[in-house]
Chain A
Amino acid sequence: MQSGKIVVENLYKVFGDKPQDAMRLLKAGESKETVFAKTGQVVGVNNVSFSVDEGEIFVLMGLSGSGKSSLIRLINRLMDPTDGRILLDGQDITRLSQPELVALRRRDMSMVFQSFALMPHRSVLENAAFGLEIAGVGRKERETRAMKVLEQVGLAPFARKSPHELSGGMQQRVGLVRALAVNPSLMLMDEAFSALDPLKRAEMQDILLDLQRGQSRTIFFVSHDLEEALRIGTRIAIMEGGRLVQVGTPQEIIENPADDYVREFFKSVDTSRYLQAKDLIDPSAAGLVVNGYPANHAELDKHSWVACVSKDHKLLGLLGRDELRSEGCVPSERCVPVSPVAPASCLPDVLQRLLGQSEPLPVADGEGRYLGVITATSVLSKLSAHRLQSAH
């Protein structure tokens, strides 16, 4: 069995009055369209399995109608699944009775909504304390706890105001505080920032990342905005027509989109911004000299630069090819020491370093082990490849 904060196994959701008819066809391998044509039942979620690790921000992406809104509502059982299992900390929540479900929602999970869904008859503070009030926490304690979270997002001065007196971005901060105040181990966010303008959206993403730092809370985030997914997601899952098409880290999905549907998402997004130093390495740009001896004599002449490393592959420095001519053995004292960049450095940092020096830019991991070099040519070829991908 898989382990994780949430484990979803073969989950189905069918909308209509005869879900069992639809299930029989689906399990026989019929498509969503055939099921609709034959039974009139609408398949929302079709045989989805995945797991979410504790502490990660798991972003579920898809166009409208892909079933992502249904899927997030299945996880806190605002909707009941037609078939399949959902394990939360190992407990199958699809079998819970109503009172058990109420207890679980109060203890372990909360939700942030696209339309904010604040209560207009309550002040900002009362809204923030809503979850605690429902759970039966006394007025003094719940207001103290809610106030603490309001302070974290800079809303303490507005505690006594009515939500409609606040701007959209501030209202959603109240929505976020309401969800955080109950200190849930799982927070569900349904298109939480989609109703905000782009500047406010970026600001909210920063607030979310700030609040998540050093926390073990798990966040399940539904979005249709790829930039948002790439920015905040630890891992991204892409849904189409009720099925899960691909699950992976942002880098994995950018580098290896599973199909045209996934590729379609990148059309409007400049994916080159998400390139990292390790994606830009050109393996053939520099020769390698280990502990003073070339790794491959014949190869050495093809490169204009040579990287010198110690016996345990720690980078010592770079050397121009001309320096090599006379001798077979390379004294490492003559290397130009060039400080390497980390594999996860982003494109703008890499470009800035490359422009400031004549040598190629070496990449080394956390322990200083040499991984390769980046040259202007390797960056340009990688960038043009991404542009072509986006253009198609």
Chain B
Amino acid sequence: MSDFLHRLISNPHDFLPIGEWVNQFIHFLLDHNGGAFDAFGRAVDLFAESIEVALLSLPPWLIMGFFIGLGVWRLGWRFAGFVLAAFALIFGTGFWPQTVSTLALTLSATLISLMIGIPTGIWCARNKRVNTLVRPVLDFMQTMPAFVYLIPAAMFFGLGRVPGILATVVFAVPPAVRLTSLGIRQVNKEQVEAGHAFGCTSTQLLFKVQLPIALPAIMAGVNQTIMMALSMVIIASMVGAGGLGNDVLSSIQRLDVGLGFESGLAVVLLAIILDRLTESFGRGQAARQG
């Protein structure tokens, strides 16, 4: 207390040492729960590494073929042609392995985000109190500058893939929570009543009425989560997450505009492909409900 008063008198412009408190809290966590963080980090690393190794072991033509096939199915030949051209460009500029790494990072971060985000969204939709509690937390997670997460993440989990993925998860979870909860709350009142009137239990109501009707909104959330994850995975190269971010980072360090453009272009093309494909899944659903 006297410490606080002393500070207030000596430095009236900065008498609230929030930053110091946060540092103390982080160190407290590190000192007392180091083992738990290590175990958690290893689990995340194993998950992400197996996805990355699996994708990298596949021949390029198989991955390209998969995306081109999806393009034909969901959006038609024109989009499939675009996918082919985009992949040819990435392959031709020599960024294929980094692009696959980035794809793997995005995929693992997205999967973890959805595993957290969708159940939380359901909980928020069903419980008003949880919703009022979670909303400001989501605002905080989304508006806090993304770099800020990288520092504590690196302190907890060391450099490498894990802090990158976890910082990405923090950034990518909010849209999944928000749009799941919104989708469920937007289900027509009479459709929910119909569920009850025919004798649904609360689980049946969720799985046979609310979630299927909310699916377009949930898919929009998935799309947003993927896009957030992709953008954050690039930034996460600062803690050594790898992938295309490494090239972007070294282009900045070496002031190499050409390298920056090439690697940046690969990010943009990957983003467009992922965005259009996931968006098409939500739209197909919405059309059936329109």
Contacts and interface: CB of A to CB of B under 8 A. Distances in A.
Interface of A: 73, 76, 78, 102-106, 109-111, 113-115, 117-122, 130-131, 133-135, 162, 164, 178, 182, 188
B215 A121 contact: yes
A113 B193 contact: yes
Contacts of B215: 121
Given A117-B188, A134-B204, A105 B288 contact: no
B126 to A, nearest CB: 15
A134 B200 contact: yes
A174 B285 CA distance: 21
Given A78-B196, A105-B198, 6 more contacts: A102-B201, A111-B193, A111-B197, A113-B190, A114-B190, A130-B208
A118 B196 CA distance: 13
Given A105-B199, A106-B198, A130-B198, A117 B213 contact: no
B213 A119 contact: yes
B199 A121 contact: no
A78 B193 contact: yes
Contact of A164 (B190, B208, B290): B290
Nearest to B193: A78
30 contacts: A105-B196, A105-B197, A106-B198, A110-B197, A111-B193, A111-B197, A111-B198, A113-B193, A113-B194, A117-B190, A117-B191, A119-B191, A119-B194, A119-B208, A119-B212, A120-B213, A121-B212, A121-B285, A121-B288, A130-B194, A130-B208, A131-B198, A134-B198, A134-B199, A134-B200, A134-B204, A135-B198, A135-B199, A164-B290, A182-B198
A165 to B, nearest CB: 9
Contacts of B208: 119, 130, 133-134
B209 interface: yes
B289 interface: yes
Contacts of B209: 119
Contacts of A119: 191, 194, 208-209, 212-213
What are the nearest 6 A-B pairs in CB distance? A106-B199, A120-B289, A105-B199, A111-B197, A117-B190, A117-B194
A164 B288 contact: yes
Contact of A115 (B190, B196, B198, B288): B190
How big is the B interface, by class?
20 to 34
B199 A102 contact: yes
Which interface residue of A105, A133, A134 has the most chain B CB atoms within 10 A?
A: A134
Which interface residue of A102, A114, A121, A130 has the most chain B CB atoms within 10 A?
A: A121
B105 to A, nearest CB: 33
Nearest to A184: B198
Contact of B199 (A103, A122, A164, A178): A103
Contacts of A111: 193-194, 197-198
A302 B193 CA distance: 65
Contacts of B193: 73, 78, 111, 113, 117
B213 A115 contact: no
Contact of A162 (B198, B201, B212, B288): B288
B197 A109 contact: yes
A369 B128 CA distance: 69
A135 B194 CA distance: 14
A160 B131 CA distance: 39
Contacts of A130: 194, 198, 208
A182 B199 CA distance: 11
Which interface residue of A103, A111, A178 has the most chain B CB atoms within 10 A?
A: A111
Contacts of B213: 119-121
Contacts of A114: 190
A106 to B, nearest CB: 4
Which interface residue of A73, A103, A115, A117 has the most chain B CB atoms within 10 A?
A: A117
Contacts of A135: 198-199
Contacts of B212: 119, 121-122
A111 B195 CA distance: 10
A212 B194 CA distance: 22
Contacts of A73: 193
A121 B284 CA distance: 11
A111 B199 CA distance: 11
A104 B196 CA distance: 11
Contacts of B199: 102-106, 131, 134-135
A78 B190 contact: no
Contacts of B191: 117-119
A109 B201 CA distance: 15
A134 B199 CA distance: 7
A120 B288 contact: yes
Contacts of A117: 188, 190-191, 193-194
Which interface residue of B200, B201, B285 has the most chain A CB atoms within 10 A?
A: B200
Contacts of A103: 199
A105 B204 CA distance: 14
Contacts of B195: 134
A117 B194 CA distance: 7
A78 B212 CA distance: 22
Nearest to A122: B212
B4 to A, nearest CB: 42
Interface in B212-231: 212-213, 215
Given A121-B212, A134-B208, A164 B289 contact: yes
Contacts of B288: 120-121, 162, 164
Given A115-B188, A134-B208, A121 B289 contact: yes
B109 to A, nearest CB: 29
A114 B188 CA distance: 12
Nearest to A133: B208
Nearest to B198: A131
Nearest to A108: B199
A105 B288 CA distance: 29
